[in-house]
Structure 1
């Protein structure tokens, strides 16, 4: 073992686990944590992305309810201050690993039935004829709060990516305003560049 003691090796492996470089799976062993490369120029859902990698997407719901929008949400969705919106909070998992926390707001007319909303918001919107076709997304680096770190199973102040997304229908109506926190140790957003 290259002259290292078992204690030193165990401490090194634990530090790699703490940094998110490797993951330990009960009964299976310790593995290098795969980095997820998300294409920044394509509008896709978390569930579709996970399935395309061969992973199983799942969700833990924090809340699903109807409410009036805040002033910021009303402006982002371009709806009246007294409009009804669906407010959705969830933890997104891939193969059982928590990778993101998402808080979405959707005009209620596009999400008339919260009881049948499963793991994919876009699948539910599509089922009602309101799947988004485009939008804008902003990504910035940040540090995880204590609550976010606990939910995502990472250390407090670990790097995270904060993503704000607004999507629209073919007619230009805004269908979704979402703020997400993604694990920075697992996600990279990649955009193709062309000479313009």
Structure 2
């Protein structure tokens, strides 16, 4: 059984559940743990590191959601097959389009410097009044609009408007030494408003998919928050699901 070495810093802005999941994630992705390795159960983990059981459960569920752990009834949580680890790799629309032989282009619709409101400060984990960049981009595939990408990020790491017209956000962040290690996202279906429909060249009756995403670096710090709107007829989502073993 793998018992992770976890040291909590309760003065840190990093959530406790993320301080717990991160060392386990690094051990799995780094190859320290073999597939099938049993992980300490959340009850013992919570007691050992001094957190509530819901906090420990959330940490373990994060690893399950990232494709790094599998829950086995009667056994507990075990390291997933390495094929599942690809689920932890962060998707990039720009990179995926290029890999598919498409020619993506980007129009920067909005690029503003602003002071974080209470709502944005909470989303980004920064102080109210901190300077942030508000970014809205229109992503096109072979000249056809396919997504509106709306992001907020700290001004200290924000790429320039000119850079973003040529390359993807995560690619530019990586060049700054910032690697997006994980995200928490919610996908919803809805109808676009008139402005969104105009930008995407569709009718307001045509459904779109929205993805609300918070991205974290390897230390668990929030890198950016985004709300992306995709044309339903041009968006494809692929995932791998592993069946639980009795």
Q: Fold match, TM over 0.5? A: yes
Counterpart CA distance in 2 for 1:40 and 1:157 is 33
Displacement after TM superposition at 1:65 (Å): 2.2
Q: Cα 1:41–1:172, aligned 2, differ >3 Å: closer, same or farther?
A: closer
- Secondary structure in 2 aligned to 1:81? coil
Q: Does 1:142 align with 2:190?
A: yes
**How many residues get paired?**
158
Q: Does 1:121 align with 2:169?
A: yes
- TM-score normalised by structure 1 residue count: 0.75
Deviations 1:98-121 (A, max 9, x none): 000011011112226445433311
Counterpart CA distance in 1 for 2:237 and 2:159 is 32
Structure 2 unmatched ranges of 5 or more: 1-85
Match of 1:91 in 2: 138
Q: Cα 1:90–1:114, aligned 2, differ >3 Å: closer, same or farther?
A: closer
Match of 1:110 in 2: 157
Q: Cα 1:108–1:161, aligned 2, differ >3 Å: closer, same or farther?
A: same
* Cα RMSD after superposing both structures: 1.8
Q: Cα 1:123–1:143, aligned 2, differ >3 Å: closer, same or farther?
A: same
- TM-score normalised by structure 2 residue count: 0.60
Counterpart CA distance in 2 for 1:83 and 1:60 is 26
Deviations 1:60-108 (A, max 9, x none): 1111122112322211111101111111111011111100001101111
Runs of 4+ in 1 over 2 A off after TM superposition: 39-42, 112-119
Q: Which has the higher contact order (CA 8 A, sep 6+)?
A: 1
Larger proportion of strand: 1
Match of 1:154 in 2: 202
Counterpart CA distance in 2 for 1:58 and 1:69 is 29
Q: Is the 8 A contact 1:144 1:157 kept in 2?
A: yes
Match of 1:21 in 2: none
Counterpart CA distance in 1 for 2:215 and 2:178 is 11
